[in-house]
Amino acid sequence: MKMKIIADENIPFVGAAFQTLGQLTTVAGRQMTAELVREADILLVRSVTPVNQKLLAGSQIKFVGTATIGTDHIDLDYLTQQGIGFSNAAGSNANSVAEYVIAALVAHAVRQRISLKNKVLGVVGVGNIGRRVVRYAEKLGWHVLQNDPPLARQTGEARFVSLDDLMDADFITLHVPLTFEGQDKTYHLFDAARLHQMKPDSVLINTSRGPVVETQAAKQILESGYLQTMFLDVWENEPEIDLDLLTQIAIGTPHIAGYSLDGKVNGTKMIYDAACHFFQMSPTWEITAVLPPLDESDLVVIPEGKSDEAVLHEIIQQAYSIEQDDANLRKILTLPTTQRNSYFDQSRKNYPIRREFNNYTVHSKISSPSLIEKIKALGFQLNRADY
């Protein structure tokens, strides 16, 4: 008899992948109930579904997969106690988030008419995503400081600095898991005290988890003018986000930094392969079967008279407009209170197809070798006939 599978309807291509393993039923992630999953063998979720004893007690669930890198919504101890197999999608959307961070920084530089050449970027959390951000930033010629206490203890590498020593950075970007206890607790890691330790007029970027930054403290320090601004993709109490905070920041998006199609499909593939391994089945579904070709993969830019940041922004914007994502979220400010939570969730569910930079080819007569290297460093292809 085929296995029964319950899956979040927002997991891309979950049907194409998992129908090979059993009978699949998809539901909204916030509507997962104990009754619904009781007779299922496999449960597939995203970050909006808490998976714990309350959901799973009395069920016959044998395997849980989350198509996310984070696991703060999963009671891992309970799964272990019950002998339930588990997989997340660590690293699946790392490149998507890294591209989001670079897009935000470049867009901000163009808005403010500043050069990023001599700026310092502090990266808090140097796992799959943070490592990508570091690599991109260094290839772009920026000075990067890295903080990751667990990795520092594990490796003893000199590249890691303390969080205190990272506070003088011009930009700080957060890529940590959400943890509530222990010496590396990240819940409200950036509270009022920590925010005031940041360099005056600096910028905070959060694409990790909303509660890593304390909302009230963030609002107060922005209102005081001590920090220049923030770029926030994640929020406390999603989908009920703080609209006052949204009005105070330069870039706000609805938890979609990792939502490139490439990243989302990678996540599905990772939990599919893990489920096959757990049940000792041979995987038959491949990503190449579902990733559609781009309608328009050629990007054109005229570099004359423009700064490197302006050229990069023009290229990036053609592939991914972070400004449009920001504008779309701000529409929530015009809605009645009763519609706001749904709008936030729908913004994620109906997020338009976004492809990563390596799917695009730039056509431009660029003469600057350093700018050419920057474009290549971000993954874009360059048509060599053009320069």
Active site annotation includes 143: no
* Domain assignment present for 260: no
State the sign of the Cα–Cα–Cα–Cα dihedral 153, 159, 164, 165: positive
Non-local (6+) Cβ contacts of 331 within 8 A are 343
Q: Which CATH number fits the domain that encloses residue 20?
A: 3.40.50.720
Are residue 233 and residue 329 in the same domain, yes or no? Answer: no
Q: Which domain holds residue 74?
A: 3-88
pLDDT below 70 — which residues of the chain?
A: 1, 384-387
- The answer to whether residue 279 sits within a structural domain is no
pLDDT, residue 385, reads 55
Give strand pairing partners of 3.
22
For residue 146, being part of any structural domain is answered with yes
Entry pTM: 0.89
> Does residue 118 form part of some domain?
yes
Residue that finishes a domain, picked among 32, 60, 88? 88
- In the prediction, which pLDDT does 386 show? 54
**Nearest one of 142, 134, 140 to 370, comparing CA atoms:** 140
Q: What is the pLDDT of residues 292-305, one digit of tens each?
A: 788 889 999 989 88
Kindly state whether residue 292 falls inside one of the protein's structural domains.
Answer: no
Instruction: Look at residue 270 and tell me if it is in a domain.
Output: no
pLDDT of the residue at 1: 54
Q: Are residues 104 and 244 in the same domain?
A: yes
Given 88, 113, 140, the domain boundary residue is 88
Do 113 and 217 lie in one domain? The reply is: yes
User: Are 101 and 56 in the same domain?
Assistant: no
Does one domain contain both 237 and 316?
no
Residue 238 is among the residues annotated as catalytic for this protein: yes
Residues 21 and 43 in one domain: yes
Catalytic residue from among 99, 214, 236, 238: 238
- List the catalytic residue out of 188, 255, 313, 355: 255
Q: Are residues 98 and 83 in the same domain?
A: no
Residue 224 and residue 361 in one domain: no
Q: How many domains does the chain have?
A: 3
Within this chain, do residues 71 and 135 fall inside the same structural domain, yes or no?
A: no
Please indicate whether residue 330 is annotated as part of the active site: no
Helix extents (H) in the chain: 14-18, 34-37, 53-56, 76-82, 94-112, 128-139, 149-155, 192-197, 215-224, 243-248, 261-278, 308-319, 322-330, 337-349, 369-377
Per-residue pLDDT tens over the stretch 11-53 = 989 999 999 899 999 999 999 999 999 999 999 999 899 999 9
The CATH number of the domain where 339 resides is what? 3.30.1370.170
pLDDT at residue 177, rounded to an integer: 93
247 and 303 housed in the same domain: no
pLDDT (0 to 100) of residue 384: 61
**Of 88, 112, 147, which marks where a domain is finished?**
88
Asked whether residue 345 is assigned to any structural domain, the reply reads yes
DSSP label at residue 35: H
Please indicate, yes or no, if residue 262 is contained in any of the structural domains.
no
Mark whether 76 and 100 lie in a shared domain: no
Q: What is the C-alpha R_g of the chain?
A: 21
Please, what sign has the CA dihedral across residues 366, 372, 374, 377? positive
Q: Which of 209, 313, 348, 354 is catalytic?
A: 209
pLDDT for 135 equals 97
Claim to verify: residue 48 and residue 157 sit in the same structural domain: no
